[in-house]
Structure 1
Amino acid sequence: MHHKALQLVKYLCGKIKSSKPVYSRALLILKPPLLLAAELGVCEVVEEIIKTYPDAIWFTNEKNHSVFHLAVLKRQEKVFNLIFQMSGHKHLLLMSQDVDGNNILHLAGKLAPEYQLHRIPGAALQMQRELQWFEEVEKIVKPNYKEDKNSKQETPAMIFTEKHKNLVKDGEKWMKVTANSCSIAAALIATIVFAAAITVPGDYADNGIPNFYRATAFKIFSISDALSLSSSVAAIIMFLSILTARYAEYDFLYSLPKRLIWGFLMLFVSLITLMVAFCAAIFLVFCNQKAYWLLVLVVVSALVPVFMYAVSQFPLVWELFISTYRPGIFRKQGTRVLY
């Protein structure tokens, strides 16, 4: 259906281009679908219309918003990339203002539509995405645009701060609740592995040396227990740094997401090594009794919490990683000459 719809768009555009007078018919017929496609992020329709009638790039709505402005205002990444890769008039489009005197950086400073924000999990990630948009648009405009004022005497930075103050508060609350919950789990693991370190399996001999100190399983237990303790303490430190952060706007761009990523990873490492230490301790106790079915049952049961943690937290960690470390919103591709 998508392919057939695109074929229909190409056919209609060709018919309009061959009709006379071209401009009036294009303005009447192509303008509404072009602006709507820019708002909805249907870049194929935008590309086909502009390829057919290049002057459609100048079409604007009642607020003097072109497809470039609408892509920024509605946070349509694909449409913006399409227009940005065009040769020719993109810099002229960046210079235009709407009826309220807003340049394109003012529009980037406004809050994204709710349906776009809801696609991103967590208020902190939503705030990070908004900062990425503002920062990327800031890179492609002239330096004096940062200080331009609209009809209300507002600069882009002033608009961004005003429109995103509630999102900053929500992001702070989300980060603190997440960090607090995870720090409790990390503290519990640290307590368990510290207790296990001073009560080793098999007890001690009369000379104070553990009875199983020559066994390979005991070495595995000792190393895993030490790794679990160090990683859980590291996780507590990372989550504590989140709880004590200042929560300025730009902290949501890199600082806070990186701390949360490392906190989650350290917590995951501590959980894995805790389960390895547990399995090694059980093996030391039951290895001489040849209760292999019991050992298999213990290993399988130890994998359950690791699997549950991975399934429940991996999507969030992956989203954090991609959002923080990806190259940027605007793909650096070769210029596509559409007109």
Structure 2
Amino acid sequence: MNLESGSLSAACLSWKLFDWDGLAIITMGPCKLPILCKKKSIAWAMDPELYEAAASGNLNFLKRMDPNLHVFQVTKQQQNTVLHIAVKFKQVEFCQHILISSSSLLLKCNSKGESPLHVAAKIGCLEIAELLVDCAKQLQRDVESSGVSALRKPLRMVNLEKDTALHAAVRNGHFAVAKCLMEADQGLLGLVNAANASPLCLAIEGGFSRIASLILETFPKSLNGDINMKTALRSAVFHSQHDIVKILLKNVPNSRNETDQIGWSPLHYAALYGDLKSTQLLLQGNSSTAYIVDQDGTSALHVAAFRGHTNVVELIVQCCPDVHEVTDKKGRTVLHVAVISGQEKMVRHILEMPRLCGIINEKDNEGNTALHLAVIYKRDNIVTILARNRGMERAAVNNNLLTAYDIFSLQPRKLSLLTAKIHYWLRGTHGLPALQKWVNTNLKREMIGETGEDTNILFARGKHDETSISNTTNEASDETVKRSRLEIHLLIATLIATVTFQAAFTVPGGYKEDGPDKGMAQSIQKAPFKAFLIFNTIAFIFSIATVYIQFATSKFSYYLRSRYASLAEVMIFIAVLGMLLAFASGVYVELANSNGLRLMGYILVGCFLLVYYACWFLDPISMQIPGLQQPRKYLRDLLFRYGII
């Protein structure tokens, strides 16, 4: 019998419709003869007036309409029935009237696979949810009495994402509706959606602690241990739901030791995000979870150290004093991983912890100490932190018989103050094998007259000073770099000449406007004004001289021009210094009536020059001046020794 063909009159049917999985079961006439038909064969476009009636709750329109016809009418796009519409707009009385005449609409799903109960759960209307639940229970009893055993329970219908109505209520945080559904069917708590998420997990992830607490405290026996409890604790830790963590640990204490597919326990995740409170809860009563490692041998302590969470590391060590002995599959301790990640604060904290002082010289499977790894990964600040520690064995060798200084010497590095600092703390700790290798591969070749580039900076110059740290810094610059330097010299000299020329005719203090000295400078007799003129003239002359040298040599060859580059640098330096002092003198003249402010220019210029010369004197890469190398090195070493720089 085909309803679509219209061969069966709707009036002939005593309607009871059950709709699951694309099939409709209709009972006909007094004899209740069941008929199976396709769901699409009973779907007609919804009358706009019916839609408005459902949205507004107009019962009069519904009473005038044949109740046997509105069952088949759905919206064009989302395939919503009249019951979907009434639920969506919270029309309780309209829903009651529909369910009395056509209770089968409760099982009708729209294009998203959502039943009216899904819609009620999403909007959080408790009154309609209770009405639909009662109807679903009655409908279920009718289905069971009809002998159709393959049909699913109405409350457990799922949408296209495999969400039940309980999933929808929990995801939207509707506590009352969720409680109603749980009380109606506790089995809903053990169902998961397409994302393998149970209602408990959704409550935890959404931060709905009240719903999660209700599930755990009221319906604990309804939870599936494998699906829910194994993931709920990790989810609670991940979202910092501390109240839920307490309840879970109280109900299922062993869940703290459960690991996921990558081998991480809940404590790993607490350590990852530095959640101190969750860490405390997980370690209370049973601290064995701190010894759990993943497939790579990584413990929660390793994770906390790698992320730099000092408070978590300290708490784990307090609860498990020997946990620092746990190493990963590469034999690396908590100090090793802190060095690799560049966590300076964590490294300092570990060195200051009395319980961890024994791991400072521990070696990994390759024989590398934390100092070796700091050099290998170029964590230069950490190198100095470790090298200055009195317990650090700086001359320790790895499986390749290399010390940290040997590795440092083989790395291409640019000369800097930090590099000189590392050299100071590691000097004298090179290993004998490295020296023997250099003698055999470099020194002997030079002795027999063979030439070659010596790449080992420790022994190449015959003495251990920071001038031999970089084998690239002292190489002659290429022609492009030299040309750029000359262009910069010319630009700076031109700029200084322009500024000082302008300043010479717009003197500070202004000019006299009357009297025999009309047109003369107001402050011509004052010493600061004379100093201004002198310094401004010096800056102008030396900048012009630099421009002249560059211009005069440019008509010859490039090499002749580059020969005067050093002289041009000196003259520009003098010109800049003269311009600074001229500025300070001009400020003094302009603010002569203010005893405090008039000195501001000299103070600022003095501070600038002091800082500049101090940096220049200490920086090993700055211009080398004969006779100053040893004093500069001595002062640097003195400052390094006492940790001033």
Normalised by the length of structure 1, the TM-score is 0.51
8 Å CA contact 1:221–1:278 kept in 2: the answer is no
Matches within 5 A, 1:119-134: 126-129=414-417, 131-133=419-421
Task: Evaluate the alpha carbon distance shift between residue 271 and residue 166 of structure 1 in structure 2; reply closer, same or farther with a 3 A threshold.
Answer: closer
Matches of 1:143 and 1:233, distance apart in 2? 56
1:206-263 deviation line (CA, Å, top 9, x unaligned): xxxx9766841476555323202324666899999xx76999xxxxxxxxxxx89x96
Which letter does structure 2 place at the counterpart of 1:11? L
8 Å CA contact 2:384–2:421 kept in 1: the answer is no
Task: Evaluate the alpha carbon distance shift between residue 180 and residue 143 of structure 1 in structure 2; reply closer, same or farther with a 3 A threshold.
Answer: farther
Matches within 5 A, 1:1-339: 5-18=309-322, 23=325, 25-26=326-327, 31-49=332-350, 51-88=354-391, 90=392, 93-109=393-409, 110-111=411-412, 126-129=414-417, 131-133=419-421, 135-137=423-425, 139=427, 141=429, 147=435, 149=437, 155-157=456-458, 164-165=471-472, 177=484, 180-190=487-497, 193=500, 215-217=522-524, 222-231=530-539, 267=576, 269-270=578-579, 273=582, 324=619, 327=636, 330=640, 332=642
Instruction: Give the CA deviation at 1:42.
Output: 1.9
8 Å CA contact 1:9–1:48 kept in 2: the answer is no
Unaligned runs of 5+ in 1: 113-125, 203-209, 248-258, 284-305, 335-339
Please, what is the CA RMSD of the aligned residues? 5.9
8 Å CA contact 2:340–2:373 kept in 1: the answer is yes
8 Å CA contact 1:69–1:104 kept in 2: the answer is yes
Task: Evaluate the alpha carbon distance shift between residue 232 and residue 45 of structure 1 in structure 2; reply closer, same or farther with a 3 A threshold.
Answer: same
Matches of 1:145 and 1:212, distance apart in 2? 81
Moved more, 267-276 or 70-79: 267-276
8 Å CA contact 1:235–1:264 kept in 2: the answer is no
Greater RCO structure (CA 8 Å; 6+ sep): 1
Task: Evaluate the alpha carbon distance shift between residue 218 and residue 136 of structure 1 in structure 2; reply closer, same or farther with a 3 A threshold.
Answer: same
Task: Evaluate the alpha carbon distance shift between residue 147 and residue 95 of structure 1 in structure 2; reply closer, same or farther with a 3 A threshold.
Answer: same
Query: Highest Rg: 1 or 2?
Result: 2
Instruction: Give the CA deviation at 1:27.
Output: 6.3
Give percent identity, aligned residues only. Answer: 12
Matches of 1:332 and 1:238, distance apart in 2? 43
Which letter does structure 2 place at the counterpart of 1:229? T
1:134-166 deviation line (CA, Å, top 9, x unaligned): 642454537979945369776443599797427
Task: Evaluate the alpha carbon distance shift between residue 214 and residue 14 of structure 1 in structure 2; reply closer, same or farther with a 3 A threshold.
Answer: closer
Unaligned runs of 5+ in 2: 1-272, 277-308, 443-454, 462-466, 512-516, 550-561, 591-600, 620-631
Normalised by the length of structure 2, the TM-score is 0.31
8 Å CA contact 1:35–1:67 kept in 2: the answer is yes
Moved more, 76-85 or 229-238: 229-238
1:171-221 deviation line (CA, Å, top 9, x unaligned): 99779746752553235534775798799998xxxxxxx976684147655
Instruction: Give the CA deviation at 1:270.
Output: 1.0
Task: Evaluate the alpha carbon distance shift between residue 82 and residue 272 of structure 1 in structure 2; reply closer, same or farther with a 3 A threshold.
Answer: closer
1:67-109 deviation line (CA, Å, top 9, x unaligned): 1122334443543343334334x3xx22223344433222222
